[in-house]
Amino acid sequence: MKILILPDPAAAVARCVEIIAQTLNEKPQAVLGLATGGTMEPVYARLVERARAGEIALDRMTSFNLDEYVGLPPEHSQSYHSYMRDRLFGPLGLDPSRTHLPRGDAPDPAAEAARFDAAIAQAGGIDLQLLGIGGNGHIGFNEPSSSLASPTRVKTLTLATREANARFFGPEETVPRFAITMGIATILRSRHAVLLATGTKKATAVAAMAEGPLSARCPASALQLHPRATIVLDADAAADLELRQYYETVHPQGQEVALG
Ligand code: GLP
């Protein structure tokens, strides 16, 4: 794992955007795995800014999102389809045929999950998978107890995750109980996984992911098995890391250092 610690959330977001931009510069037709959540909002805002400034092009990429709530149609305001349309796909006018999310309203969610994994494989696999992390260590919606070899499938959300995500829903709305999520095996097949975490609420989960045992108790710990995982943190999210000083020596200010 490459652990990059930046001084504040804005610097962590900028570093994450830099990694995405580098991937797209090297391979404009890259397949990106995209994530949702509050942490990713400034990432997409910055990508839109940079694309509008002509510094980066997203029009040739293909994307697959991590997850979607079961039962929510794409037009629902809290669906992840809407999240992506509002924050990235709409502002950049991306061709909808290049952007993929599981259909939460599919009549057979299990079949939809299998179709999604097959579509990723058919696109050649994911070049760069963007990830956030839940306070309980989930990635995508792979809650604790998720098989570390899981394919894309339906998962039941924990109460903690439903409560954490309730802030995005109206007072009269309930957070769905189920989601279709890329599996841990799907995520591990990506050629590069980039996880962004900011804020003290993520510190415990980040330490469990990077320094705890490989365990379904903390699904993000599966990234210890990923051949190329980059973890981008702000100082608050890095606060519980025992080996922090080492990571900061290897990558001062979260930057690459030439060997020698
Ligand atoms: C949701 C998403 C995850 C995301 C997590 C953290 O549950 N399914 O992909 O990483 O929330 O979200 P936030 O960035 O809002 O803390």
Q: Kindly report, residue by residue over 77-104, the tens digit of the pLDDT.
A: 999 999 999 999 999 999 999 999 999 9
Collect all residues with Cβ–Cβ distance below 8 Å to 139 and sequence separation of at least 6: 66, 131, 132, 133, 184, 187, 195, 219, 220, 222, 223
* pLDDT at 172 (0 to 100): 86
* pLDDT at 58 (0 to 100): 96
* pLDDT at 94 (0 to 100): 96
Q: How would residue 258 be classed by pLDDT, with cut points 50, 70 and 90?
A: confident
Asked if residue 136 has its Cβ within 6 Å of ligand 1, the reply is no
* pLDDT at 259 (0 to 100): 84
* pLDDT at 103 (0 to 100): 98
* pLDDT at 4 (0 to 100): 98
Q: How far is CA 251 from CA 98, 186, 227, in A?
A: 35, 28, 18
Structure tokens at 206: 């980040």
Phi first, then psi, for residue 100 (nearest 5°) are -125, 135
Q: How would residue 54 be classed by pLDDT, with cut points 50, 70 and 90?
A: very high
Which residue's CA is the nearest one to ligand 1's atom 3?
A: 140
* pLDDT at 123 (0 to 100): 98
Task: Give the bridge partners for 26, in sequence order.
Answer: none
Ligand 1 mutation target, pool 13, 16, 39, 129, most atoms within 8 A of CB:
39
Asked if residue 133 has its Cβ within 6 Å of ligand 1, the reply is yes
Mean pLDDT of the chain: 97
Residue 38 in this model has a pLDDT that exceeds 90 = yes
Which residue's CA is the nearest one to ligand 1's atom 6?
A: 134
Tell me the catalytic residues: 67, 136, 138, 143
* pLDDT at 8 (0 to 100): 98
What is the Cα–Cα distance from 49 to 113, expressed in whole angstroms? 33
Residue 260 in this model has a pLDDT that exceeds 80 = no
Indicate the burial class of 171 (C-beta count within 10 angstroms; 0-12, 13-18, 19 or more): exposed
Which atom of ligand 1 lies nearest, measured to the CA of 157? 7
Phi first, then psi, for residue 248 (nearest 5°) are -75, -25
Q: How many Å lie between the centroid of ligand 1 and the Cα of residue 252?
A: 27
Task: Give the bridge partners for 232, in sequence order.
Answer: 4, 196
Residue pair 197/160 in contact (Cβ under 8 Å)? The answer is no
What is the Cα–Cα distance from 181 to 222, expressed in whole angstroms? 15
What is the Cα–Cα distance from 152 to 1, expressed in whole angstroms? 23
Which atom of ligand 1 lies nearest, measured to the CA of 201? 16
Q: How would residue 117 be classed by pLDDT, with cut points 50, 70 and 90?
A: very high
What is the Cα–Cα distance from 244 to 4, expressed in whole angstroms? 10
Structure tokens at 86: 């509002």
Residue 126 in this model has a pLDDT that exceeds 80 = yes
CB atoms under 10 Å from CB of 242, counted, come to 9
Structure tokens at 254: 């979260």
pLDDT single digits (tens) 158-217: 999 999 999 999 888 999 999 999 999 999 999 999 999 999 999 999 999 999 999 999
Asked if residue 102 has its Cβ within 6 Å of ligand 1, the reply is no
